[in-house]
Amino acid sequence: MEQREWILSVDVGTSSVKATIFNEKAELVREFSSGYPLIQTRQGYVEQDPFKVLEAFHWAIQQVLSGVTDCPKVMVLSTAMHALMAVDEFNQPLTHLVTWADQRAEGMAGRLRSGPEGLSLYEKTGTPIHAMSPLVKLAWFRENESEIYHRTKLWADLKSWILFDLLGEWVVDESIASATGLYNLASRDWDQDALDWCGVSGAQLPRLVKTTDIVGCVKPDLAEKLGLGHDTRIIAGASDGALANLGVGAVNPGSLAISIGTSGAVRGMVNEPKLDPQGRLFCYHVDENHYIVGGPINNGGILVRWLQGILLSGGESSDTFYEQLNLGVAKITPGSDGLFCLPYLTGERAPFWREDVSGSFWGLKLIHTRDHLMRAVLEGICYQLNSVVELLVHLIGPVVEVRATGGFTKSKVWVQILADVIGKPLGTLKHTQGSALGGAFLAWYALGQISSLEECAELIPPARVQAPVQTRVARYQEGYTLFKELVNLGEKAYLKLQEFAQKGASQ
Query: Three-state SS string across 103-138, please?
Result: CCCHHHHHHHHHCHHHHHHHHHHCCCCCCCCHHHHH
Contact indicator for 421, 383 with CB cutoff of 8 Å: yes
Count CB neighbours of 114 within 10 A.
Answer: 10
Contact indicator for 276, 282 with CB cutoff of 8 Å: no
What does the pLDDT read at residue 506?
Answer: 64
Rounded CA-CA distance 389/405 in Å is 16
Give the confidence band of 410 by pLDDT, cuts at 50, 70, 90.
confident
DSSP secondary-structure letter at 348?
A: B
Positive or negative: CA dihedral 47, 349, 296, 327: positive
Nearest to 243 by CA among 79, 426, 34, 14: 79
- Is residue 442 left, alpha or beta, with left meaning phi > 0 and alpha meaning psi from -120 to 50? alpha
Give the confidence band of 462 by pLDDT, cuts at 50, 70, 90.
confident
What does the pLDDT read at residue 314?
Answer: 53
Residue type at position 60 = A
Judged by DSSP in three states, 219 sits in coil
Helix (H) or strand (E) holding 268: strand 264-270
Name the burial class of residue 349, with classes exposed (0-12), middle (13-18) and buried (19+) by CB atoms within 10 angstroms of its CB. Answer: buried
In this predicted structure, the answer to whether residue 316 has a pLDDT above a threshold of 70 is: no
What does the pLDDT read at residue 14?
Answer: 87
Nearest to 32 by CA among 70, 61, 6: 61
Task: Tell me the mean pLDDT in the region 482-498.
Answer: 88
Task: Tell me the mean pLDDT in the region 277-305.
Answer: 94
In this predicted structure, the answer to whether residue 159 has a pLDDT above a threshold of 80 is: yes
What does the pLDDT read at residue 496?
Answer: 83
What does the pLDDT read at residue 148?
Answer: 97
Positive or negative: CA dihedral 431, 437, 438, 444: negative
Per-residue pLDDT tens for 349-400?
999 998 888 999 999 999 999 999 999 999 999 999 999 999 999 999 999 9
In this predicted structure, the answer to whether residue 504 has a pLDDT above a threshold of 80 is: no
What does the pLDDT read at residue 361?
Answer: 96
Task: Tell me the mean pLDDT in the region 484-502.
Answer: 85
In this predicted structure, the answer to whether residue 320 has a pLDDT above a threshold of 80 is: no
How much is the CA Rg of the chain, to the nearest whole Å? Answer: 22
Per-residue pLDDT tens for 136-151?
999 999 999 999 999 9
Task: Tell me the mean pLDDT in the region 237-245.
Answer: 94
In this predicted structure, the answer to whether residue 174 has a pLDDT above a threshold of 60 is: yes
Average pLDDT, the chain: 93
Residue type at position 202 = G
Contact indicator for 219, 167 with CB cutoff of 8 Å: yes
List C-alpha distances in Å: 419 to 163, 378, 434, 440.
39, 12, 19, 28
